[in-house]
Amino acid sequence: MSSFPHRLTGPRRRIATALGVLGAALALTVATAPGATAAPRPAPDRAEVTPGNAYMGVGARIHDDAPAEDPSMSIMAPTDGVQGIDVSHWQGAIDWASVRGAGTQFAWIKATEGTGHKDSRFNTNYTAAYHAGVIRGAYHFALPNASNGATQANYFASSGGGWSRDNLTLPGVLDIEHNPYGAMCYGLSTTQMRTWINDFHTTYKSRTGRDTVIYTTSSWWNTCTGDWTGMSTRSPLWVAHWTSASPTVPSGFPTWTVWQYTSTGSVGGVAGDVDRNQFNGSRDRLLVLADNT
């Protein structure tokens, strides 16, 4: 993976109305995609999130690690290039054929959290995305204070996080970010956190043959791992930074492989807000990542 660029952010903060009715109407015109309808229910923020219900970016929202999104941001959002989404049960039923038809080429789907929670829609989403021709993979929401990295990697690999060279499966993702249930760094020291991440990666690779993609924010990584460089040549980086400008890359990584640039995107086939992501390269390079070639 060392030859791959390292780049990599989540669901649903309600759009502020500071720009007034005109700004909101403009954002709606630009960002609304065909086939999208009102969200079946909003994903929780702050104290509303309960164990098993975390999703990519929830920690950033709770801890204000990501900036509040401006309704006008969608005008300049990086919706060119190779586009993807990430989802969990909070998106409800997804029409994956419409997702692919809207130009979305890849997706990561929540599989597990800790060692006792499997996303209720994972099996449906993972299979349906495959049959729609979406290059997809699974992600694990890490709870480093619940059990060690090896234990959680084994649970993930056994519960949907595996990998096969079928031209449509991406390596699994370790979603490690602000703790949505408590202390930012889960009560671990920087040394303990490095050990936890390394154990997860080593175990996952021994189970699947693939390096783990790391999803995080610059703030969390720099604080909780102490600017650790130990994963920079092993794990592609998926960085969460909700902005229309270039993302801020955590210390220790040379660049990003995937960039989560908004948590309030809109894509045909998905009801309501969905995280949108850009891959740092062409579709051919995305397939290289998927096929480990």
Superfamily of 20-35+43-291 according to CATH: Glycosidases (3.20.20.80)
Which residues sit opposite 86 in a β-bridge? 108, 275
Pick the catalytic residue from 65, 70, 86, 113.
Answer: 86
Is 284 tagged catalytic?
A: no
> What's residue 91's pLDDT?
97
Pick the catalytic residue from 65, 69, 119, 177.
Answer: 177
Is 86 tagged catalytic?
A: yes
Give residue for tokens 């692919």: 100
Q: Distance (Å, rounded) from C-alpha 232 to C-alpha 254? A: 7
Q: Distance (Å, rounded) from C-alpha 164 to C-alpha 44? A: 33
> What's residue 138's pLDDT?
98
Q: For residue 272, what are its two tokens?
A: 């309501």
> What's residue 227's pLDDT?
96
User: In 3D, which of 202, 67, 196 has the Cα closest to residue 142?
Assistant: 196
Domain boundaries, the chain: 20-35+43-291
Q: Quick check: 249 and 255 in contact, CB under 8 A?
A: yes
> What's residue 78's pLDDT?
72
Secondary structure tally for the chain: helices H, strands E: 8, 9
pLDDT tens sequence for the chain (293 residues): 433 333 333 443 333 333 333 333 333 333 333 444 444 456 665 447 888 999 999 988 777 565 555 544 444 457 789 999 999 999 999 999 999 999 999 999 999 999 999 999 999 999 999 999 999 999 999 999 999 999 999 999 999 999 999 999 999 999 999 999 999 999 999 999 999 999 999 999 999 999 999 999 999 999 999 999 999 999 999 999 998 888 999 998 999 999 999 999 999 999 999 999 999 999 999 999 999 97
CA distances from 11 to 55, 105, 115, 203, 251 (A): 7, 18, 22, 29, 25
Q: Distance (Å, rounded) from C-alpha 257 to C-alpha 209? A: 19
Q: Quick check: 215 and 8 in contact, CB under 8 A?
A: yes
Is pTM beyond 0.85? Reply is: no
Pick the catalytic residue from 70, 113, 175, 275.
Answer: 175
Is 166 tagged catalytic?
A: no
> What's residue 185's pLDDT?
97
> What's residue 293's pLDDT?
79
Q: Distance (Å, rounded) from C-alpha 289 to C-alpha 280? A: 11
Would you put residue 56 in left (φ > 0), alpha (ψ -120 to 50) or beta?
beta
